[in-house]
Structure 1
């Protein structure tokens, strides 16, 4: 009887175990799923963090370039100011040296005369002024001898006085010269420091462009900015066309523009990149090059292709420092990548007027002028208008 009871208990325990087994498996499965979910969430968090870091690194490429360019422009201006001061210092050094040389030449001549005078006195003995006066034959001879003595004494005193004066002038010229040399050395040290700063800024600029070239995400972001800049220009010009239409209908205000329609070259130089689709030199993708690139040295004066009104003169994203001119009749021109601008928005300009100086600001791999012609806000081949 006891044996049967034990057997029944074992069977009951086994049955209970069988009943609990799915629950145990379920618990095990839940733990595994929970672990997998935690792993996935951790990976998602890591990826999100990486994305955030990448976006922070990418940032606004052309905004960062604009800041770099501003710092570079400031350093260049300070370097030019220092260079001008060095040139002015060199002029002062030259003038001081010329004055010193002249004074030394005069001193040498006067010291020569004084040496001869002293030699004559040594060879012939000291002139006894009393003997000269007493030896006069009559009053006229006496007066003549007194006047002669007066002149000799005055000449000797003038000679000695002029020698003292020349020596003082030489000492002063030497002091000025020494001061200007010290100033020049200080300015040259400042100039070297500014050169280093300019080189560092350019290296920073180049590094950012190289990152855009090598980092696909950065390149895509920069490319979108470049396209946005081009679209913004088109929108700006379309708005002017709308303002023009409103003004002609009696509503709104619009600054009338009437260009000749025949464009001159903004600068003289070879076309380094024509209008049309090309592989972008930085982003490595086929995109529309909306103008022509004209190769010139940095600082070359950029002229307005025709008379008109300046629509914009500012930093325009990938275009860097740019000028947009409305020439009327739906035609406008764009001048990009300048180092500096000489006009402002709303200003009327004449054909051939200097509006900027060439450079390599914005999305640029070297100094040149990016020149666009737009009809109705859309880019067209400039060669059909030049």
Structure 2
């Protein structure tokens, strides 16, 4: 029924008040479920993750990466405070670089998410403002119509119905009209709140964009620094590895030189003992009873031991003696009487003295600063034969000391007096 026909049909008829009330109640009950169904929100499980949830997940990822990098930096500090190898630092820097690269990638992803939300929020704000403008205009027109119609129009329309069916139609029409007006007002209020929320979201997202870009710039600078440090340390590792290989090769050659010298002396000694006119063999001044009783050639601490040693840079060194740390210039004394058979500079061993103690037993004193004896000289137990030096650039000042019974290198600690 059109609005004009409805007005004409209700004129001239007056219905009791309880009938009118009954009609209004029926219309209200009929319309309420439809309005409630229209206003029911969608199921939460069907909604995609919100902006807050996505940003929170990405922020959790960033925090996790920051903690991982902090652990790596703490590990680097420990490496720098302790005896370490450059390869460990290179590995740590590489791990930091990879973590920082992942952090930058996560910041990029977060920035992309924020920019998407900015675009959505901006488009939603524009749509909401346009819709609000239209709804405000419609609401203004309705208010003008209501004002022009007067406050008694609805009463007149209801009381002038000519039949019950006309009354129901009039009530239904007026009820729907009121619902539309109320929904229009609520929509205007909702749009106004939505615009305020969207504007606040835009401000917050723009702040997030600014912070994200600043942090990304910081992380990009950090990444560049890490790459520079990593490359510098890698170069240092390569140079150190090359020097170490060369040093180990030289050390092996020098050890062979010492061993060959002692072997030559042993061969000559045995040949002399076997000759028809040989004098009685000179007994060794180092006896089995001296095990664990000989005085130390220099007082100090051991920096490397006899045998195979794994260095901090993962290289292996085979030591035929021990390294006894002591200050440069500290006196070095012979552990027993004997004859100096070598007093010369021997490559990585530096200035070196070899004393033959008779019976094919020898003691070796290397890495000296200077030599106080000469070849062929007889020395007594405890006699000064030189001073501690620092001939190895990778080690502190120390004495390299060996004992070779019958020319074979053994652990000198077996003969030296145990320290308390």
**By the TM > 0.5 criterion, same fold?**
no
Scaled by the length of structure 2, the TM-score of the pair is 0.39
Which structure has the greater CA radius of gyration? Answer: 2
